[in-house]
Amino acid sequence: MERTIQSALISVFYKEGLEPVVRKLNELGVTIYSTGGTQTFIEELGIPCTAVESVTNYPSILGGRVKTLHPKVFGGILARRDLPEDEAHVKEYEIPMLDLVIVDLYPFEETVKASTDERKIIEKIDIGGVSLIRAAAKNYKDVCIVASRSQYGYLLNLLETQGGVTGLGDRRQMAAAAFMECAHYDVAISDYFNHDTDSANFQLSFGNKQVLRYGENPHQPAAFYGDIDHIFNKLNGKELSYNNLVDVDAACQVIAEFKNPAFAVVKHTNVCGLAERDNVADAWVDALAGDPESAFGGVLATNRTIEKETAEKINELFFEILIAPAFSDDALAVLKGKKNRILLQQKRAVAPRREFKRILNGVLVQDADTTSFDTWTEAGARNCSDVERADLEFANIVCKHLKSNAIALVKNRQLIGKGCGQTSRVDALRQAIIKAGQFGFSLEGAVMASDAFFPFNDCVQMADEAGIKAVIQPGGSMRDNDTIEYCKAHDMALVITGQRHFKH
């Protein structure tokens, strides 16, 4: 069912890209109706334009809050062209028919990001725009709707190639996009009002779809929805893949835990290298030393500027991505030597309030795991030393960022052994001890962290026999006392935090 565009209502916040559309409509002899700033914009192009107020005989009132909410506007959009009753009403009330509606929405999300002034935010809740878009989209059999500046190019192509004639498929496609714009907008407003409350519904909407090369595996189509440029400046390299994005998220979350110079190496979301030092160069050297084998092809992250000295050391390794708050020019000259290597300058922290996961026929939602321990209870043979406490806190953070079951072995704020993703805690510890030995680390004086309680005392016994004399764990086992008594009998410090850190 073809329809020829003979009239158009245009009222937009964003004018960028609108000029060629307006000029083409004028060339096709389309009657244009408009309001406010859009009307001024069109008239300054030298194109005739009819003010909506002259149709409604009602001015814009309440500071612009009410402009287009009028039967003569909505009647012209919602009138069904093939229904005699609608046609009779149109004639009786002298309602101008509208074949094309170009309306976008006030920048609510942008205002929330830029301001904490609630009055400004509330004023960016669009009323008329949403109503016009929904009306035109509902009547897509007769009306064409453009609800975003991202569709200007699509509309212009239709006008140029089809001479102002649209097919039913064209209009339905644009209506679908319009309803999506409204849905996204409403979710953003709902989230603003409900983010600190327990809502009965789970709502989430992200725009800016970016089609990825593939998903976790080449046979899985995939896309990313979100504004990655809000967090990073990409300084070099190929497009981020699905797996890249997953690991970048994990790397950003672990490095955000540290205030002193630190370096993290992440592989398949697990931390495989981590060190905290007085300077970033030393932090890199010791993070890599923790597991140079797993670091190959990994994602690297630091919380300090990358200078040339550090860049030259990093450049010796093949890696996928490097994340830092800044890079010196000399460092970039070194690191950009490989065109596919991704360099990301992180502009702001990644600090999610909630986490969610599709499961069965629904969604699991939880608060993010943002704390490291609830209490610090010394339950062993002795209190831990200051050095041991610093290492235990470090190791406990590492366990938060390893897949369960997880064990982290740390010495002098350096990860020297880890076991993760194991089906038993004993196996995780065995893996950690083997890793430490594989790369030449002595466990004498090292500490151990566990993401969950020890069901038996076998893990502290294995740790003791390997040279470890300080342990941190959440506790909570019915047999906690077995672990406590072993530590007391073998001069081991034992800290119970009361906070588990499962990660699945």
10 Å Cβ neighbour count for 447?
28
Report the distance separating Cα 72 and Cα 52, nearest Å.
9
Residue 336 annotated as catalytic: no
Report the distance separating Cα 407 and Cα 460, nearest Å.
11
- Contact between residue 300 and residue 319 where contact means Cβ atoms under 8 Å apart: yes
Report the distance separating Cα 174 and Cα 155, nearest Å.
9
The two tokens of residue 133 are: 């878009």
10 Å Cβ neighbour count for 343?
22
Return the HEC string of 345-367: EECCCCCCCEEEEEECCEEEEEE
Q: Which of 126, 127, 152, 141 is nearest to 175 (CA)?
A: 141
Of the candidates 124, 141, 268, 308, the residue annotated as catalytic is: 268
Sign of CA dihedral 358, 364, 368, 371: negative
Of the candidates 15, 138, 313, 336, the residue annotated as catalytic is: 138
Report the distance separating Cα 462 and Cα 131, nearest Å.
68
Report the distance separating Cα 215 and Cα 235, nearest Å.
23
Which letter, b or e, does each residue of 79-106 get, where b requires 16 or more Cβ atoms within 10 Å of its Cβ?
Answer: beeeeeebeeebeeeebbbbbbbbbbbb
- Contact between residue 307 and residue 284 where contact means Cβ atoms under 8 Å apart: no
- Contact between residue 349 and residue 256 where contact means Cβ atoms under 8 Å apart: yes
Residue 435 annotated as catalytic: no
Longest dimension (CA), the chain: 97
Report the distance separating Cα 113 and Cα 414, nearest Å.
37
Active-site amino acid positions: 138, 268
